[in-house]
Amino acid sequence: MNKKITVLPGDGIGPEIVAEAVKVLDKIAKKYGHSFEYTYVDIGGCSIDKYGVPITDEGMALCKSADSVLLGAVGGPKWDSCPANIRPEKALLAVRKELGLFANLRPTKLFSQLADASPLKKEIVGGGIDLLIVRELTGGVYFGERKTEEVNGELVAVDYMPYSEHEIERIGRVAFETAMKRGKRLASVDKANVLDTSRLWRKTMHRLSEEYPQVEYSDILVDNTAMQLIKNPTQFDVLVTENMFGDILSDEASMLTGSIGMMPSASLSSGTLGMYEPIHGSAPDIAGMNIANPLGTILSAAMMLRYSFDMAKEADDIEAAVNKVLDAGYRTCDIMKDGCTKVLCDQMGELVIANI
């Protein structure tokens, strides 16, 4: 099978971790007889430095024409003083919007080999954390109208949080279909006791739930969700929520594992096109030192194979290889503990390849 992948290494440690994921994909291609064609595009701060914009029109076109997109990370203190309209993060919002990437899948899995890294007590995580947050990605307050104006002698800022039924329904279907492939349990997160958008969200989700009687469905308020993720995270299978709530909760959930460098993510369109990236940032303080953890990016590449290319066996192969490497006691510095062997970024990539 031949696939075109647009690669966005980005800033900071982005190029280092993406390089290891590409090597892993090459090993998969060789083993299974596939062909992956890579096109590299600048994004974020490096694009601002070269072209004055966080992503060029040509770069965006290459993302649109690809079968999938692999992203490293963007941003860093160097570009904090840039005008708001050309900040590195603007490129991510633009790519999500232009490619129609409305569904963000954030798995939170506590690898048994890293159980000691969780900040939660062992009796809380003993049953194993394996949940998935489905976040609506192109609507809500991040994409709504915003303005700041003077009213009665002081500045007043307003951000609108619009949601339409069709936006809620399409992310809801992704969540229900995903739950059907997992534990058949779905919790919909909202703030329906306060917000009109959440009341529409809940009404639409209830209507959808009638189409999926096999799925155990429940509603949960966002503040209670934040508490329950700390109190009893093992109760959750799939969580679905709107953009801002999902942004906050998925970051909270990622820390339950104590290893943000391990966490992948997928952003999907209504077709097969997706963008895959680790959830961590660009970590400019360790850029170029070859000590970053590439496993989150490698696992993101596995998600690409699974969700965009329908290569479930190949994805399983990568995930099994990561488990074997962890079982053997190899660790990058962010997940290092006594009794294990510390390895560099490129060494970790080679170890995963060796176990495929």
Nearest to 136 by CA among 159, 109, 162, 108: 162
Q: Verify that 249 and 161 share a domain, yes or no.
A: yes
Question: CATH number of the domain that 165 lies in?
Answer: 3.40.718.10
Q: Provide the pLDDT for residue 118.
A: 86
State the DSSP code for 164: -
Per the DSSP assignment, residues forming a β-bridge with 274 are 268
Q: Verify that 278 and 228 share a domain, yes or no.
A: no
Measure the CA–CA gap between 70 and 322, rounded to whole angstroms: 19
Q: Write down which residue in 221, 256, 291 finishes a domain.
A: 256
Q: Verify that 308 and 334 share a domain, yes or no.
A: yes
49 is catalytic: no
Choose the catalytic residue: 40, 130, 142, 324. Answer: 142
State the DSSP code for 220: E
Measure the CA–CA gap between 225 and 191, rounded to whole angstroms: 10
Q: Verify that 238 and 301 share a domain, yes or no.
A: no
Measure the CA–CA gap between 96 and 268, rounded to whole angstroms: 9
Q: Verify that 33 and 157 share a domain, yes or no.
A: no
Q: Which of 33-47, 88-102, 119-133 has the lowest mean pLDDT?
A: 119-133
Q: Verify that 325 and 263 share a domain, yes or no.
A: yes
Q: Write down which residue in 236, 256, 276 finishes a domain.
A: 256
Choose the catalytic residue: 67, 247, 317, 334. Answer: 247
116 is catalytic: no
Asked if residue 114 is part of any domain, the answer here is: no
Asked if residue 293 is part of any domain, the answer here is: yes
Asked if residue 211 is part of any domain, the answer here is: yes
Q: Write down which residue in 240, 256, 272 finishes a domain.
A: 256
Q: Verify that 81 and 61 share a domain, yes or no.
A: yes
Choose the catalytic residue: 4, 64, 78, 191. Answer: 191
Determine the structural domain holding residue 222 and report its residue range: 119-256
Residue 315 DSSP SS3: helix
> pLDDT grade, residue 272 (50/70/90)?
confident
Q: Verify that 123 and 239 share a domain, yes or no.
A: yes
179's enclosing H/E stretch is helix 165-181
Per the DSSP assignment, residues forming a β-bridge with 8 are 71
Tally of structural domains, the chain: 2
Measure the CA–CA gap between 344 and 356, rounded to whole angstroms: 19
Choose the catalytic residue: 49, 223, 316, 327. Answer: 223
Q: Provide the pLDDT for residue 265.
A: 95
User: Given a cut of 80, is residue 65 above it in pLDDT?
Assistant: yes
Q: Provide the pLDDT for residue 327.
A: 94
Per the DSSP assignment, residues forming a β-bridge with 245 are none
pLDDT per position as a tens digit, 174-193: 999 999 989 999 999 999 99
Q: Verify that 123 and 252 share a domain, yes or no.
A: yes
Q: Verify that 89 and 38 share a domain, yes or no.
A: yes
Instruction: Evaluate whether 338 touches 346 at the Cβ level (below 8 Å).
Output: no
Choose the catalytic residue: 26, 219, 251, 346. Answer: 251
251 is catalytic: yes
